[in-house]
Structure 1
Amino acid sequence: MAEPSGLTHTETITDLAGATDAWRQWLTSEKRASAHTLSAYERDLEQFLDFLQDHLGTAPGISDLAALKPADFRGYLARRVSKGFAKTSTARALSVVRGYFRFLERRGVLSNAAVFSIRGPRIPVSVPKALTVTEAAETLDAMGDLASEPWIAARDVALVSLLYGGGLRIGEALALNRSDYPIGDTLSITGKGNKQRIVPILPAVRAAIDDYVARCPYRGSPDDPLFLGARGKRLQAGVAQRAMRLARGWLDLPETATPHALRHSFATHLLAGGGDLRAIQELLGHASLTTTQRYTSVDAERLMDVHSRAHPRDR
C-alpha cells in the first residue's frame, strides 16, 4: 500500500500504540489539524478503543482491528446510542474511526473493509439560526452600553462588528494579532485546515476596531493579540460568549443568539440582499458549496413569512 502523500514516518508499525502515535503525527504534520481538532479526534478514537476492550474482553491489538466484522461496528454505534450521544457527534466519531483505518491501510498495517460498509446515523439538515437585521443592529448597540469599562465596551463592539460585518468565526477573530492592525479594506484570515481567505472590511467595522485600539490601555508587539481580556491576555471565547449572553438577556433575544449566530446573520443577510452563493462560500471559507446552501433555506423561510404577511390572499 502506498503511504499517504508527504508522509516521512518510515518505521514499521508493530503495535496499536505505535499505530496511534503515527496517526497522531500525521494529523499534526501533514493534515495540519488544530489542537482543538486533534483533541476531539483523539477522544473519539479513545472511546472506540475503550468500546473494543469491553466488547472483546481484552485490550485490542492490530490483528483484532483487522478481524472486526460489520456487527462489531454496529455494536459500537449502538453503544453510543445507549449512552445518549447526539447523531452529529456519532457521525463525526465514525468518520474519525474510518479515517484511522484508512490511514493504517495506506501504511500497509491492516486492511478492513467492514468499517466502510457501515452506514452512519442520518443527520437532519440543520438550518442556521440568524438574527434579523434589526436584532443585529440592536446587539451592536447593546455591546457598547453593557460593559463596565469604556475600552472593554469598545472591544466588544469591535469584535461583534467583525463577526457580523466580516462573517468570521469567533476563533478566527480572536486569533488576530497586532500585526494585522491597522485594518485595511481587506483582511487575510486563516480558517479551518489553515486555509487562507480574504475578507472585505466595511468602513464601519474598521472604525469600530480603530476606536477599540485607541481606547485599549495595553500596547504590545506585533506578535501580541489584537483582542485582549481585562488582564491584557488574549481574549478567550468564553468571555465573548458571556458578553453576548448579557446582550441577549438585555434585548430578550433567543438562546440561539450567540457569537456564531452573527456569522450566520452575515451570510443570511448577504443572500437576502442578492449576494451570489459562490461569493458567500468564499467569504465564509466553506470547503463545500453544500454547507453554504443551508442559507438558502433560511432565506426561503424569510420569503415565505413575508409572503404570508403581505399577500392579500393570505389575510
Structure 2
Amino acid sequence: MTDSAFATDPFVRDSVENWLRELGSIKRLAPKTLEAYGRDIGQFMSFLSGHMGGAVTLAFLKDLRGADIRAFMAERRNDSLGSRSLARVLSSLRSYFQFLEREGILTSEALNVIRSPKIPRTLPKALTVIEAKQAVSMAGEREDRPWVAARDMAVIALCYGAGLRISEALALRKADLESTTLRVTGKGGKVRMVPLIASVRAFIDSYLGLLPFAVNTDEPMFRAIRGGVLGPRPIQARMELLRSALGLPQTATPHALRHSFATHLLGKGGDLRAIQELLGHASLSTTQIYTAVDTERLLESYALAHPRG
C-alpha cells in the first residue's frame, strides 16, 4: 500500500492496515489477492489526494460522492485497465468501506450508485484427451537429468490427473500422500481430499525414487535444480516446450490441464457437485462454466460430423 502512505492521514492509514489484516487473518485471502487489494486502495488514496489537494481524511471519505468514484475508475480505465481488473478494483473499494461501516468509523453511500463493469465471459480452453495424455507422457522428453524429467512428469500429471492448480501441486508434501488420496491445500488455506489414481501415484513414486535431495515429510517435495523449493516457472517452461513439440495451442498451460481434467470428467458423465469438490471451488456457479465448455465441444463435433452440419 505504498501509494497511500503519503496520501492519507495516520488514522486512515491505520484503518487500511487493519482492513488488510482482517482480510488476511479472518477471511484468509491469498497473499497475492491481499497485495492486489492493498495496491487498489493505495492507488485510490493517491488519486483522492491529488483530487482534493491534500492528505485524505475520514471527513473526506465520509463526504465521498459517486462522481469521485467514477472519476477514479475512469482514470484507471485510461491506464488501460480491463473490465476484469476494474471489477476487482471496485470490489476492493467496497470491501474497505464495508469494513469502515462494520467498525462504526463511517458510512458512505457513494459506492452504492456505482455499477460493476461488465466482464466478457471467457470459457476455459481445454485440451483434447489425446493432447492431455501426450503432454503428461512426453513431459520428460529432451531432459538429460532423469530426476528432473520425472519431476516435471509428476507435476504435470497432478495438474491433469488430479485437477490441481500448479501452486497446489508444488506445495504438496510427502505427508499429504496417502495410498489412494491426496490432501490438497487450496485457496484461502482450505483443505480438500482428492483421489490419487494409480498412474499419477506412479509418476510421483518414480520422482521420489530419483530425487537426489533429502526432503522431510512436512516440506514441499518438488525441488529445483539446486535443491530449493520448486517454483512454477520451470513447469511453465516445460509446457512451452510441449506446445512446440506437440503442436499444441498457446492456451496449453499447466492451468489448461486442470480445465481439461474437469471438462473430460464432465464429458464422461461426472457429477457437477463432485467436480466442484475435486477442484476446490467455493461456489457451484464457478464449476458450472464447464457445462458450457462441454456443450460447445459437443456442438463443434456435431457441426463436423452431421451430414447437414
Give TM-score scaled by structure 1 length: 0.92
Contact 1:23 1:103 in 2 (8 A): yes
Aligned to 2:59: 63
Using the alignment, how far apart are the partners of 1:146 and 1:62 within structure 2?
60
Letter in 1 for 2:110: A
Letter in 2 for 1:150: P
Q: 1:91 aligns with which of 87, 93, 96?
A: 87
Moved more, 140-149 or 258-267: 140-149
C-alpha deviation, 1:14, in angstroms: 7.2
Verify: 1:305 aligned to 2:308, yes or no. no
Aligned to 1:122: 118
Contact 1:126 1:294 in 2 (8 A): no
Contact 2:83 2:117 in 1 (8 A): yes
Verify: 1:249 aligned to 2:244, yes or no. yes
Contact 2:160 2:260 in 1 (8 A): yes
Using the alignment, how far apart are the partners of 1:169 and 1:163 within structure 2?
6
Letter in 2 for 1:93: V
Verify: 1:212 aligned to 2:207, yes or no. yes
Letter in 1 for 2:298: L
Structural mapping, 1:131-210, within 5 Å: 131-181=127-177, 183-210=178-205
| Change beyond 3 A, Cα 1:173–1:61 | same
Using the alignment, how far apart are the partners of 1:230 and 1:41 within structure 2?
34
Letter in 2 for 1:289: L
Q: 1:112 aligns with which of 82, 96, 108?
A: 108
Contact 2:163 2:279 in 1 (8 A): yes
Contact 2:29 2:188 in 1 (8 A): yes
Using the alignment, how far apart are the partners of 2:262 and 2:175 within structure 1?
27
Contact 2:176 2:184 in 1 (8 A): no
Percent identical among aligned pairs is 50
Letter in 2 for 1:136: A
SS in 1 for 2:28: coil
Contact 2:24 2:30 in 1 (8 A): yes
Letter in 2 for 1:179: A
SS in 2 for 1:15: helix
Contact 2:124 2:259 in 1 (8 A): yes
Question: Please, which runs of 5 or more residues in structure 1 have no aligned partner?
Answer: 1-12
Using the alignment, how far apart are the partners of 1:33 and 1:306 within structure 2?
40
Letter in 2 for 1:102: Q
C-alpha deviation, 1:140, in angstroms: 1.2
Aligned to 1:273: 268
C-alpha deviation, 1:279, in angstroms: 1.0
Q: 1:31 aligns with which of 17, 20, 27?
A: 27
After superposition, the CA RMSD in angstroms is: 1.4
C-alpha deviation, 1:59, in angstroms: 2.1
Using the alignment, how far apart are the partners of 1:253 and 1:90 within structure 2?
32
SS in 2 for 1:27: helix
Moved more, 91-100 or 169-178: 169-178
Residues 136-173 of structure 1, C-alpha deviations (whole Å, 9 max, x = no match): 01111221213231110000000011110111111111
Give TM-score scaled by structure 2 length: 0.94
